[in-house]
Structure 1
């Protein structure tokens, strides 16, 4: 019986998609299926995805009529999910063969939890350069620091994901930060397994290229999340943290990332 559906938004990832899907095909448990949604790719992404869908009965491919962004794309995938659990995966990352087995084992043994993510390795063309190691059992107050869960390694109860309304399709960034806050607002709990069962392809300079406009949007979202979770007033000044980052020279942000995410 299939219990897990992986939802994957794909866009211009022809050079990495095969590696991502192959890591799913190597999972130690067979009870999963993959729904990919092509978000208007202009390279060979769709053709690669189509080949996998034709070759494997548990892989499906759908498309958007135009480029809509990740949140809307994942909501489109969610329309076709009919399993107990929904997992995430990106088309340029890889996961460990035992990822689903260990996440499913946790959810089976801990029915009080609606979310289970994992620690995550960061890698580029030179190999693994860092690790994201979130708190094991976050609480609402942890949202003051940013997202308490890594998005791409997440596995969720499908019924709860639908109950809270899925992703906010209007958001172009930090969709996961908003989504997790809706889970916690509704009283659901999440956990992060300490073992890095997922590896994210990451550009170490990515955060240095965010514009002031993007930082301002992040401030607006943080305001919404802080209000939604009733974060105490003494922490509200942290709503403006993205604007502070906008004033920090890019080379200092790069150095800070190396320290924070050092293996």
Structure 2
């Protein structure tokens, strides 16, 4: 295994004294050792800073950075991106645990696949609930999944620094609480995407996470990202339909004339269906009524919609 390529591991930290030592130690103990570990204390008011300074004294690869005031996550991440010196940037959260071979396997993957600019991994969720999150692994399916939601577990990703630098890509402050999802959509314009089909990170779920504290704002931001990403895709294909949550059944049905890939149609349908508060009622009327569409179109629509919506 070659360790010539420097990897920058970026770990924003805020009031995480309970978990941060375990998280950083999981990076220190990686089988891949050519690392710089940037730990950014975003104005913590607990013992986080002292723990990070202690760890920095014990391992010279750790670079301790302190924000004099709480800049919040997006600004802290962007500050970190500017400071990273490695060929690759690996993300890591201060309450998660990377398995020992994570960095090694991601570096080897990117070295072997120069067309790939970002690679994530499967994750083991633990904490208030437990499960394994298995993402799509192939580029075309990852892109299709971006119509619905993030295709990566944020703290599991490793990115080519050159993709970010060459295209001036950062986390966008206009998309709070879903900034990672927006970044993946932006990166997808310039490179291929992948996930390694192996659990290489333990992802902690707790009650203080963004998805719990800012659930409503996160959903609204994610919906805006979906519609922008989908409409960019439709425009590139010269599809004369603008995708919004208020599209009618007939609007969605027309997509079949322009998009032949079933896996793409399925994702678009799921986004549209999930966007409607009365989605289940719409589907019920679609497959039972005769006053919405004529029988021929209704039967076609039944086939088109049923398998996808049954997944909900």
- Which TM class, normalised by the smaller chain length? 0.7 to 0.9
Q: Does 1:56 align with 2:70?
A: no
Q: Does 1:134 align with 2:138?
A: no
Please, what TM-score do these two structures have when normalized by structure 1? Answer: 0.83
For 1:198, the equivalent position in structure 2 comes to 201
Give the 3-state SS of the residue equivalent to 1:120 in structure 2: strand
Pairing partner for 1:18 from 21, 27, 39: 21
Pair 1:45–1:153, CA change in 2 (3 A): same
Contact (CA 8 Å) 1:9, 1:74: kept in 2 or not?
Answer: yes
Provide the rounded CA distance (Å) in 1 between the counterparts of 2:137 and 2:230.
21
For 1:120, the equivalent position in structure 2 comes to 123
Single out whichever of 209-218 and 12-21 deviates more from structure 2.
209-218
Provide the rounded CA distance (Å) in 2 between the counterparts of 1:239 and 1:215.
14
Deviations 1:18-68 (A, max 9, x none): 000111111112111100111121111111111111221110111223222
Deviations 1:113-153 (A, max 9, x none): 1111100000117xx72011000114322212211111111
Give the 3-state SS of the residue equivalent to 2:110 in structure 1: helix
Pair 1:243–1:88, CA change in 2 (3 A): farther
Provide the rounded CA distance (Å) in 1 between the counterparts of 2:131 and 2:125.
5
Q: Matched residue pairs, number? A: 244
Q: Which has the larger radius of gyration?
A: 2
Q: Does 1:29 align with 2:29?
A: no
CA RMSD of aligned residues (A): 2.7
Q: Does 1:166 align with 2:177?
A: no
Pair 1:24–1:241, CA change in 2 (3 A): same
Deviations 1:183-226 (A, max 9, x none): 1122x011111110000001389756655444323322322332
For 1:238, the equivalent position in structure 2 comes to 271
Pair 1:209–1:5, CA change in 2 (3 A): closer
For 1:184, the equivalent position in structure 2 comes to 188
Pair 1:3–1:237, CA change in 2 (3 A): same
Provide the rounded CA distance (Å) in 2 between the counterparts of 1:50 and 1:225.
41
Contact (CA 8 Å) 1:218, 1:242: kept in 2 or not?
Answer: no
Single out whichever of 216-225 and 6-15 deviates more from structure 2.
216-225
Please, what TM-score do these two structures have when normalized by structure 2? Answer: 0.71
Q: Does 1:224 align with 2:257?
A: no
Name which structure has the greater RCO, CA cutoff 8 Å, separation 6+.
1
For 1:75, the equivalent position in structure 2 comes to 78
Pair 1:67–1:172, CA change in 2 (3 A): farther
For 2:296, the equivalent position in structure 1 comes to none
Provide the rounded CA distance (Å) in 1 between the counterparts of 2:231 and 2:121.
27
For 1:38, the equivalent position in structure 2 comes to 41
Give the 3-state SS of the residue equivalent to 2:155 in structure 1: coil
Give the 3-state SS of the residue equivalent to 1:15 in structure 2: coil
- Give ranges in structure 1 of 5+ residues lacking alignment: 246-259
- Give ranges in structure 2 of 5+ residues lacking alignment: 242-254, 256-267, 279-310
